[in-house]
Structure 1
Amino acid sequence: MNLIIFQGLMIPFIGTTLGAACVFLMKEQMSEGLQRALTGFAAGVMVAASVWSLLIPAMEQSAHLGRLAFLPAVGGFWGGTAFMLLLDELIPHLHLDEDQPEGLKSHLAKTTMMVLAVTLHNIPEGMAVGAVYAGLLLGGKSMTVSGAMALSVGIAIQNFPEGTIISMPLRAAGQSKAKAFLSGTGSGAVEPAAALLTILFADLIVPVLPALLGFAAGAMLYVVVEELVPEMSVGAHSNVGVMMFALGFSVMMILDVVFG
């Protein structure tokens, strides 16, 4: 079981690393169309994962509440949304193609704040993976090894374009290929860390696991709506982002059904 959990935690990080490695293969500049497509795909995967791998299991585990089975999931969902809103207001970060940083004022370099922006929205993904494996470890209802692995693989798939999206602009901003690769990879290191921290507190969270699953879903969807959707829709031919969103959603939905 420990090996399965280790693999489940590392698979998403490997996805980020492989995506960041594209900086060694691609030109210094990423086209707007490709960036929009990759962002849309990542958004689609995250939305599907939030629904099938987090919110639905959360309500299934609260079935004993009858018609109020939605309460833990909804409460956790709003908690996750508020948590990401708080981090968004506190941590200095800079979104791609933006000149005005968000969060508290700081004297950090532009490239550092770009990395922090991606790192910030990797936190809920790590928590989502950690919550599912914590439930699996302690025998949570509706939690299966194949279902947990489907979430890990789905997050890894959407982490691949994220790794590319962060490493390529850093290269264009003047960083060496090696440094851009390390920065992109480092932005994903928070995921296994957040997942492991969640698992370490498994004994405490299992009684409130439905709420925690909802929390992770709320945090992930906050990232999608606040950051990814605007980035995939900006400029002409935004239908590219929409179609890739649909593809990402479909891929995650298929993974969850096939492996779940």
Structure 2
Amino acid sequence: MIPDYRGEFTGKRVVITGAAGLIGTWTAEAFHAEGAELLLSDNRAEPVQELAKRLGAHAAVADLTTGAGVDELIAAIDEHWPTADILVNNAGIYPRTPVATTERETVETIFAVNVLAPYQLARHVIATMTATGTQGCIVNLSSGAAKRPTRTGGVYSASKAALEMLTRSLALETGEAGIRVNSVGPGFAPGSEVSELPDEHVAKMRRAIPLGRTSGPGDAPSAILWLCSSAASFVTGTTLDVDGGRTAGDFTPSGGAS
């Protein structure tokens, strides 16, 4: 359940990338419920346009695998507002491929979306926030994979680790301007990937989560909104893992094997 922020986000200008995905949609709905103005971006035209129409938001179709695509999104932001108050870098890709057999082109694509696009968007938004005296917030969507790599996701893990370091570096650079930069590591949410996950895989993942359930609509969005609220006014440069304890360490349920 999203807390009631009593109008704190009313009229706040919020940019969300990867908005047509599961967590992006949940986050857009949460900000909309709090009265924010939204610019929703995704590389999938129909889903993001439908979501924007439903929420009365602006839509921007942008391919974040290229610098030109990021520039198109920046142009869309500038077209609507002098600056954003909040940037949520949610877009990310996770090809399952071992490091030793991953082609350079794939690595470049992963880092383009997961690191370079957030960097380029943050750089622009920080400039416009500074120019307008806006004490805004940036939230980057990280992953427990930044701390717990897998045999088939090493490049993805490296990209998210880089994103967390970028978060900390930006926080150091922007604190004096009153701009806060944080990350959220969302938990496992079935349905967040393009391909449907087998039931046995979902069950296995659930057993590895100490709190015994997968991530739902109120989990990551609650953390994102809190980090952007006055309740977190002294929080910057950190990563908040909202994953039911998954990244705390290896877990085996009592009386059973994981």
Greater relative CO, 1 or 2 (CA 8 Å, sep 6+): 1
Task: Give the structure-1-normalised TM-score.
Answer: 0.35
Task: Give the structure-2-normalised TM-score.
Answer: 0.35
> Going by fraction, where is strand more abundant, 1 or 2?
2
> Going by fraction, where is helix more abundant, 1 or 2?
1
